[in-house]
Amino acid sequence: MIKYSRYVPPSDAEENRTSDFVTHGDMYGGMDEYFAHDDSGKAIAMAKISHDPGHTSTPITIYDHDKDGDSLIAERQRAHDTDVDERSSWYEGLTRPAKEGEQLVLFGVHHRPARSEVHELYARNNMSGKTAAMNLIGMADIASTTGKHLKPSNSLSLHSRALVSKLNKYGAISDEDMPSKIQDNDFSFNYAENKLNRYPRNNQIQYQDLNARIPHARARIRGVLGKPTRELGPQFTQMQFEGFE
């Protein structure tokens, strides 16, 4: 029987974090590592999920070349700049010179919403490994504390890119959540095998048992792929998660 679990790092105790349902206390977010091990203790799949608590930037000054120092945005006839990917936008306090008739701003604003992202995903090149990897994604999605589903990374192998594109096609990943600039990381199943070999099941390491989530995880994946979902039974009626009912 495959054992599904989450590695429990020592920092969980420091943050009083009893499970992956509890938000990371670190203002910069954190990581959750999910595993599927076979009966021999060999890891057959792994998913590393990164959590970003989000951030809001509200600069009130920009650099003034004439003064060789900072000046208030409110004094400079500026408008809000939405192109936050540009270095110049950040340098100018997320504002730009206002056009005639545009609303002037007192400060720049950029809000980065909280998100949970599939940072790494590995599976052995067999049906058990690939199925377990999908189950891990379903389990991690259940635990997402952002109120939204997991987002894909922008660093993808050819296999992962095909999977992400398929999930986008089925509506599991919205167009808005698709990576704007995908980087091919050239990871192969051989790389995944070597990575998974580093994580044998260790009785000295603490794990959070996630086998109870298997029915919900499978139901989620079946729903995404347009396959009929079986009834989960009365034992799950008290665990209702968005997208997994």
- Give CA–CA dist 49/34, Å, rounded: 8
Residues of the chain with CATH 3.40.630: 3-53+114-236
Q: Cβ neighbours of residue 55 under 8 Å, at least 6 residues apart?
A: 111, 112
Write the burial class of residue 165 (CB in 10 Å: 0-12 exposed, 13-18 middle, 19+ buried).
Answer: middle
Q: What is the residue-wise DSSP string for 80-98?
A: E---TTSHHHHHTTTEEEP
pLDDT at res. 211: 95
Q: Give the number of residues written for the chain.
A: 245
- Give CA–CA dist 206/200, Å, rounded: 13
Domain 3-53+114-236 class in CATH: alpha beta
pLDDT at res. 47: 93
pLDDT truncated to tens, each residue of the chain (245 aa)? 899 999 999 989 888 888 998 888 777 788 999 999 999 999 999 999 988 888 888 999 988 887 788 889 998 899 998 787 777 787 788 899 999 999 999 999 888 888 888 888 899 999 999 899 989 988 988 887 666 777 887 777 777 777 777 777 777 677 877 877 777 767 778 888 999 999 999 988 999 999 999 998 888 777 666 654 444 443 332 222 233 22
**What are the strands, taking DSSP E only, across the chain?**
3-7, 30-37, 43-52, 55-57, 61-64, 69-72, 78-80, 95-97, 110-112, 115-123, 151-152, 155-156, 183-184, 207-209
Place of tokens 């499978």: 218
Beta carbons of 43 and 193 less than 8 angstroms apart: no
Task: Supply the pTM of this predicted model.
Answer: 0.73
pLDDT at res. 4: 96
- Give CA–CA dist 75/80, Å, rounded: 14
CB count within 10 Å of CB 35 equals: 24
